């Protein structure tokens, strides 16, 4: 998504991205250099887009201690490099988790406006995900984060539930803009090519397949999902995780001996349409306490694929609230495995309801066209630019 935003901005503006070496996908490694400059050549505005990669470590994101080292080396190298990059506006995201604070600091050094694009809300995520305790570190982090929020010219969030969280931190509502990641909307009648091998790998011999595709991090109600799957093990219903993350090992341990739960690695980006098409329904999960802290943007791709969603999340989250209102999602309590199992059976057995949810998903997708959302983001950046 960062690439998508950068390319949209670079159509009419000079854009410099200061980032680290890739650690998420092993096919996207870079040799170590103190820094290296790239000019992507895949978009209309590529000539105005420059990527500076500093020589951060690139340990696997599944190894939390080494992942922290990735973050620290990135900050140590990116701050002095960014300080000398000419700009009119500075935008900071939230990977590393304290990137917004770092970006605000750089903006102060440069005397430039700062737009804070919050992807995941920290330190709320770190505390709610039990990564750190609610002690001194969390209080200091929260104090610095609120300073960054006050310093921001505009705060961009991914959904209404996250917007409510930011308002509760004392930020005026008029300074907060909701810009959703959205989905690529194809022309009417166009159907993306589906790779039958990907479909077979995911579906196996299950009669009904639920897919969770994406990062297996600290935010999901994983225990509830696995326990619900165990209740369905003799009914031909499979739960397939496609992806990786810091919690994959723990989730695999929870699922030990559960014959209807399977784990697959990430597929290449070119196969995303096939992954989405493989499922009878997709799972979006947020554990209680993290509503508005995490806003899973996978929802929009699922809508574009015309698939039902099982929202295993607090009811006030965007995916549950919007999904129930628009008819493309069914809600289940993230603390109640029995209710999750009942909801899955409901979608499985009521084919008419499932078909209607898929149709509602396609109808809703056009309201979240990524092109329109990117226009909003570009407009916010242009408004922040000094006259």
Predicted confidence at residue 178, as pLDDT, reads: 97
**Phi, then psi, of 136 in degrees rounded to 5:** -60, -45
Predicted confidence at residue 80, as pLDDT, reads: 95
Predicted confidence at residue 129, as pLDDT, reads: 82
To 5 degrees, how large is the angle CA 18–CA 8–CA 107? 40
In the block, tokens 């979608």 appear at 347
Bridging pattern class, strands 208-213 and 281-285:
parallel
Predicted confidence at residue 47, as pLDDT, reads: 62
In this predicted model, what pLDDT tens digit does every residue of 159-204 receive, in sequence order?
A: 999 999 999 999 999 999 999 999 888 766 567 789 999 999 999 9
Sorting pLDDT into bands at 50, 70 and 90, what band is 247?
Answer: very high
- Look at residue 44 and tell me whether its pLDDT is greater than 50: no
313's tokens: 């999340």
- Look at residue 155 and tell me whether its pLDDT is greater than 90: yes
Query: Can you tell me the distance from the alpha carbon of 271 to that of 193, in angstroms, rounded to the nearest whole number?
Result: 9
Is the Cβ–Cβ distance between 242 and 217 less than 8 Å?
no
The structural domains of the chain, ordered by start, are 2-183+369-384 (3.40.50.2000), 196-367 (3.40.50.2000)
State pTM to two decimals: 0.86
Predicted confidence at residue 245, as pLDDT, reads: 87
In this predicted model, what pLDDT tens digit does every residue of 53-112 receive, in sequence order?
A: 999 999 987 677 888 999 999 999 999 999 999 999 999 999 889 999 999 999 999 999
Query: Can you tell me the distance from the alpha carbon of 136 to that of 234, in angstroms, rounded to the nearest whole number?
Result: 48
**Phi, then psi, of 282 in degrees rounded to 5:** -110, 150
> Which of 41-50, 68-77, 250-259, 267-276 has the weakest average pLDDT?
41-50
- Quick one: which of 103, 96, 97, 101 has its CA closest to 82? 103
């Amino acid at each position: 998504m960062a690439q998508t935003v950068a390319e949209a901005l670079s159509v009419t503006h000079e854009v410099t991205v200061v980032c680290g070496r890739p650690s998420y996908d092993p096919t996207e490694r870079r040799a170590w250099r103190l820094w290296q400059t790239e000019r992507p050549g895949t978009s209309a505005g590529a000539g105005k887009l420059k990527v500076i990669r500093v020589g951060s470590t690139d340990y696997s994101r599944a190894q939390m201690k080494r992942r922290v080292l990735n973050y620290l080396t990135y900050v140590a190298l990116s701050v002095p490099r960014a300080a000398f990059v000419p700009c009119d506006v500075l935008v900071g995201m939230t990977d590393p988790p304290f990137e917004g604070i770092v970006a605000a600091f750089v903006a102060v050094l440069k005397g430039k406006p700062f737009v804070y694009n919050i992807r995941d809300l920290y330190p709320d995520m770190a505390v709610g995900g039990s990564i750190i305790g609610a002690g001194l570190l969390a209080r200091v982090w929260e104090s610095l984060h609120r300073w960054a929020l006050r310093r921001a010219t505009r705060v961009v969030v991914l959904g209404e539930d996250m917007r409510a969280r930011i308002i509760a931190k004392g930020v005026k509502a008029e300074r907060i803009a909701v810009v959703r990641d959205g989905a690529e909307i194809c022309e009417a009648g166009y159907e993306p090519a589906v790779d039958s091998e990907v479909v077979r790998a995911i579906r196996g011999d299950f009669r009904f397949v639920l897919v969770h595709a994406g990062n297996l991090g600290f935010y999901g109600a994983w225990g509830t999902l696995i326990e619900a799957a165990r209740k369905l093990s003799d009914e031909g219903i499979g739960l397939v995780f496609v992806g990786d993350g810091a919690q994959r090992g723990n989730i695999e341990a929870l699922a030990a001996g559960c014959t209807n739960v399977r784990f697959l690695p990430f597929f290449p980006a070119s196969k995303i349409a096939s992954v989405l098409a493989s499922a009878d329904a997709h799972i979006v999960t947020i554990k209680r306490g993290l509503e508005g802290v995490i806003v899973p943007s996978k929802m929009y791709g699922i809508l574009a694929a015309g698939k039902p969603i099982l929202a295993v999340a607090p009811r006030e989250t965007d995916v549950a609230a919007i999904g129930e209102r628009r008819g493309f999602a069914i809600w289940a309590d993230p603390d109640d495995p029995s209710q999750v199992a009942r909801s899955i059976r409901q979608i499985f057995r009521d084919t008419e309801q499932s078909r209607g949810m898929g149709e509602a998903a396609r109808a809703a997708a056009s309201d979240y066209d990524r092109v329109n959302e990117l226009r909003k983001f570009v407009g916010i950046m242009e408004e922040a630019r000094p006259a």
